[in-house]
Structures are given as structure tokens and as C-alpha cells.
Amino acid sequence: MKLVKSLLLGSAAGLAAVAGAQAADLPVRKAAPVEYVRVCSTYGAGFFYIPGTETCLRVGGRVRADYVYVEPEFRDDDAIGFRARGRIQLDARTATAYGLLRTFVRFEMTRDTGAFGFSSTSANVDQAFIQFGGLTAGRALTFFDNGDIDAQTFAGVRWNDQPNVNLLAYTFSFGNGFSATLSLEEGEFTGIELPPAFTDVTAGQRTPDVVANVRYAGTWGSAQLSGALHQLRSIALTDAAGVGFVPDTEYGFAVSGQFNFNLPMLGAGDAVWLAATYADGALGYLGFGGAEVADAVIDVDGEIDTTKGWSIAGGLRHYWTPEIRQNIFGSYAKVEYGAGLTGEDFNEWRVGTNVLWSPVSGLTLGAEVQYQSTDFELAGVDNDDFWTARLRVQRDF
């Protein structure tokens, strides 16, 4: 019996040894490393490292709903309007040996009806730019502006009509808050017109707008002096005798001083901003675009005669409580035509206020009223004045 037991135990041990040897010969599969999402605190809240890279990414966006009432002038005018706007944006930043490499893209989709004017839903590239060191290339806020200084208004005041433009710029940083920028930007055209029908005779663009600024930013706020050079070209024309001619190319310009002051003595977050601008042949930098005004007109001698204008705009932001804030804002603008068309001159002023409530972080509920008045110097033309009221619901993330 002992012999049988010994044989059985020996056989089991032998089988175990063979099985162990075979198992040792099998390949061992290592567990795949887990890529955890890491918080990137270098550039502020909301950034995280893209797994496997040293690039920090922030995903954000906005949904905004606006409801407007505009005092109608004629029976067929829409008095109410609805707007829904969605925004998605990505901000990617990487620290390199040559400085910060940043890529930013913002898409907006808007659906308007009524007083806003009807628009089908379509994606709009609001901003898309690359920054590397001092270089900025793509679509970004024009360097003519000291930031989006009137962003706290709903309808806006008379200010730069086209804040986001396609550009190629370089910023020189001098330290201690001082910098200077030279930028080539897409032209802000309001057009060249031919009296008496005021037909648009603007020719194709040959030179981009040249924009330059000198800026200082400190703990108290910021200040900027900026200027722009704008080319004016007309198509070939025909005089009263039927002889063709081409007016000489002219250049318009705009200069501006812009300031933003923090007012902590009134309350945390309080600030005031001011912008004063003069334009000669570059009325887009005053906030006039489309068919509102012309950069220039063709005079009786067949030459380009520039339109001149100036504007001053400002606003005050005050926090009544950490959740409730109010903005008061206004602007005044005056436009003077050349070529003896003094009857086309006019001045305009706007004034308004809004109150915004943020019951939770990222959510804003607001209401705004604004009054606008335009006084024309042309005899027989009625002055234009009306009220606008708007409600807004906005969620930022």
C-alpha cells in the first residue's frame, strides 16, 4: 500500500513539474498603460493635457438667446426679433523653447428672425488663429482695438464695425507692460460712391490695411494708441463727354486712443472704458459699415474726395452685488462728406443701460434698453430716432 501511495505522489509531482515548465514557456502579456487625463493649471481653469502630449487644451462654448423690440418706423417693419446663437471654441497651448505656441478656433452658429433679419443657420468662423512668440496669423480681434472694449453692451455703440478680421501681425514686447504691434489686415470697406445716384464704384483691393499700435497694460487697466492706413481705389469711370478715366488711388486713415480703467474703489470688478477715434477715408474704423456711409465720393473733377468723421464712446460697469451688475454706455459720432456734399452730413448719438444677473456661475440673465438718434443736415430729410429693448439668456461653459 505504501508503494502504491508513493507511486501516485511521484506521478502527481512529475505532472506538476511538466505543467509548470510548459507554463513558464508561454509568453506573458503586460497590461496596457492607462492614460489618465491630467489637469493643466499653467494657463488657468479648464485646461487639461491631451493624453500622450504636452499640449494643454480647453474646450468651451456658449449658448445665447436674444429677444428684441425695435420701435418701428413703417407698417411693414418688424418690431420684434428672435435670435439663437451657439458657440464652440477650442484653445490649445504648448510651451516650446521659442515661447508659447497657441492655436485658437471659435465657431458660431446663428439663427435670426424678425427685427434681427432672417438668416438660415450656418457655421461662421468667428476666430481662428495661431500665435507663436510674437506672431499672430489667422482671424482674430483687430489690433486697432484695445480688446473687445464694448463687449458688455448687447446692441453695441458706435464703435469698430468689424472687430474680428483676417490678419498677419507681429507684436514686440518691451517688458513692464509695454508692447507694440504691426499688423496687415483685411480692409474695412464702406465703399466709394459716385453722386448723384451714389453708385458704388469701389475697385478691387490691392493693398491690405496697415494697422499699428502702442499699448500698455498694468494692474490699473490698459491704454492704447492705434492707427490704420486704408487704400481707396475706384473702377474706371466715364465723364459727361463719354471719355473714360480712372481716378488716382488715394489713402485714408484712422487714429484712435483707447483706455480701460479698473475702479476697485467702487467695487470688485468695476471698470470704465473710453475710446476716441478720428477717421479720414476709413469710416469702417468708426463703426460705419455696409451702406451706412461711404469712405469717399467722386468729386466734379473726377477725383476721390474722402469722407471725414469722428466718434467718442465709453461705458461704466458696476457690480451692485457679486451676482448683479449694470452697464451704462453711450457714443457720439459725426460724419462730414467732401465734394461739396455738405447736405449729406449727419451726427448720431446712442445711450443705453443694461442689468445682468448671474445666479450661478456661467449663467447670465439680462435686460437692456437703448436710445438712438440721427440728425441729418440735408434739408427735407427727417431725423431718425428710436428705442430698442432686448432680453438675453446666456450660458457660458
Per-residue pLDDT of 71-86, as tens digits, reads: 898 889 999 999 999 9
- Contact assessment for residue 190 and residue 306, using Cβ atoms and an 8 Å cutoff: no
Full strand arrangement of the beta sheet holding 192-194: 199-200, 192-194, 296-298, 304-306
Domain 134-396 has what CATH class?
Answer: mainly beta
- Distance (Å, whole) CA 294 – CA 232: 11
Which pLDDT value is given to residue 33?
61
Which pLDDT value is given to residue 161?
65
Which pLDDT value is given to residue 316?
96
- Contact assessment for residue 363 and residue 394, using Cβ atoms and an 8 Å cutoff: yes
Which pLDDT value is given to residue 15?
39
Q: Give the chain's residues under pLDDT 70.
A: 1-35, 120, 161-162, 290-291, 342, 379-381
Which pLDDT value is given to residue 25?
53
Q: What are phi and psi of 25, to 5 degrees?
A: -75, -15
- Is-cis flag, bond preceding 196, omega within 30? yes
User: Could you tell me the CA-to-CA distances from 385 to 185, 218, 313, 336, 382 in Å, in that order?
Assistant: 34, 40, 18, 20, 10
The neighbouring-strand residues paired with 371 are 351, 387
Which pLDDT value is given to residue 30?
62
- Distance (Å, whole) CA 112 – CA 63: 14
Which pLDDT value is given to residue 17?
46
Which pLDDT value is given to residue 195?
86
- Distance (Å, whole) CA 211 – CA 184: 6
pLDDT in tens, 306-340: 999 999 999 999 999 999 999 999 999 999 988 77
- Domain residues of the chain, as ranges? 134-396
Q: What are phi and psi of 12, to 5 degrees?
A: -65, -40
At a CB cut-off of 8 Å and minimum separation 6, what does 131 contact? 100, 101, 102, 103, 104
Which pLDDT value is given to residue 12?
45
